[in-house]
Amino acid sequence: MIFMEVELHLPDLDFVRQTKEKFSVNRGVYNTIDSWFYENGLVNIVDRRHHITAFLEYSHKTAQDKLFPNGLTKKLEEYLGIRQTNKIGLLDN
């Protein structure tokens, strides 16, 4: 499943709405993902939004029945591990 690109430079509310529309995640899930990336070193909002959309697309591509079957944090850690394994640093865009 390929999603249309989400505009990263929108005001926060509009970005959250686009994320909900394109990835079917509510504001609570979005806020949790956003906080997790921030706490793991992505301070720049545009970089964080880039990774949020990449993570959500990754989650949809790898989902079977549920989007986060083992929990959201586990899926975020899996995503981070895949990026590190592929020698793509989290802070490298």
pLDDT in tens, 15-55: 999 999 999 999 999 999 999 999 999 999 999 999 999 99
Is 6 a domain residue?
Answer: no
Is 91 a domain residue?
Answer: no
The total of structural domains in the chain comes to 1
Is 2 a domain residue?
Answer: no
- What is this structure's pTM? 0.80
79 φψ region: left (φ > 0), alpha (ψ -120 to 50), beta (else): alpha
Is 5 a domain residue?
Answer: no
The three-class DSSP label of residue 31 is: helix
Is 16 a domain residue?
Answer: yes
Type of residue at 23: F
Residue 39: domain span: 12-85
In 26-36, which positions are buried (b, 16+ CB within 10 angstroms) versus exposed (e)? eeebbeebbeb
Is 31 a domain residue?
Answer: yes
* Packing angle, helices 72-85 and 45-62, rounded to 10: 100
- What does the alpha-carbon distance between residue 81 and residue 62 come to, in Å, rounded to a whole number? 14
Is 54 a domain residue?
Answer: yes
